Chain A
Amino acid sequence: MPPRNPGRGYRLMSSRGLAALIACASVMIRTPAGAEVRVGEAFPPFERAGLLGARIPATSGKVVLVDFWASWCAPCKASFPAYERLNSEFSSKGLVIVAVSVDRDATAYTAFVKRFTPSFLVVLDRDQKLVREAQVPTMPTSYIIDRQGRVRYTHPGFHGYETEKALRTEIAMLLSE
């Protein structure tokens, strides 16, 4: 009978445990999602997000307002009439409004668009690729992008007249640059 070595079993268990622990940790530490888009940064490109719906025209040299919305989000509904007003006021001067829905349910998205019939661009980010890249802090969130493609202003949430007033001022300023 071989001499008993009480430390051997424990050492074996310990090394196996450590290996398992490292393996678990490597699986658990996932690749971080896109960081939140901040003022001064470039907005993630629309092309690689696989957006459904209207085709987004070339936006280079234009002021772009990107709004993330969803059919289940009440302030998003409240924001649509404001974007309608801004679009009718500034679209001829070089503003492009792109309203990106993050709905997973295409039926709810379609029903919402049918009901509001917006005159600005509405697209569906069904796989939520673009919103994951942008990492919006709340719903809705809008970004104003200048003619150079840099994010100049962000608006987390929609707070009625206050937000609309701020958007109008900022858009007018960027269009005049």
Chain B
Amino acid sequence: MTHNNRALVVLAMITFAAASSGCSTAKAVRVKPWERAYLADPTMDPDRDPLATAMAEHVYFSREAAQGGRGVGGAGCGCN
């Protein structure tokens, strides 16, 4: 078997392993609605302290000359 064919077989094996391990579907890694107790805990909220958030934002703005765009916010149970 040529070197190229070997590489192809190894690549196929890796692809098969990734597909069968559930990496291919978003559903397989989804936290079920009834398993979100820890996510709903107030301590999971990155903005639970408004003063700390304001200070962090100020530092971020001062250092990076940028504001906002910090990604999606908050924790929560994702209910309803």
Interface of A toward B, CB cutoff 8 Å: 7, 10, 14, 17-18, 21, 24-25, 28-29, 68, 70, 72-76, 102-105, 128, 131-132, 136-141, 157-159
Contacts and interface: CB of A to CB of B under 8 A. Distances in A.
Of B33, B34, B35, the most chain A CB neighbours within 10 A belong to: B34
B34 A68 contact: yes
Given A21-B17, A128-B34, A139-B77, 13 more contacts: A10-B1, A10-B6, A14-B9, A17-B13, A24-B17, A25-B16, A72-B36, A75-B80, A132-B34, A136-B34, A138-B80, A139-B34, A159-B80
B37 A103 contact: yes
A76 B21 CA distance: 35
Contact of B37 (A25, A105, A141): A105
A18 B35 CA distance: 36
Given A28-B22, A131-B34, A21 B79 contact: no
16 contacts: A14-B9, A18-B13, A24-B17, A29-B20, A68-B34, A70-B34, A70-B37, A70-B77, A72-B37, A73-B40, A75-B79, A128-B35, A136-B34, A138-B78, A139-B34, A157-B80
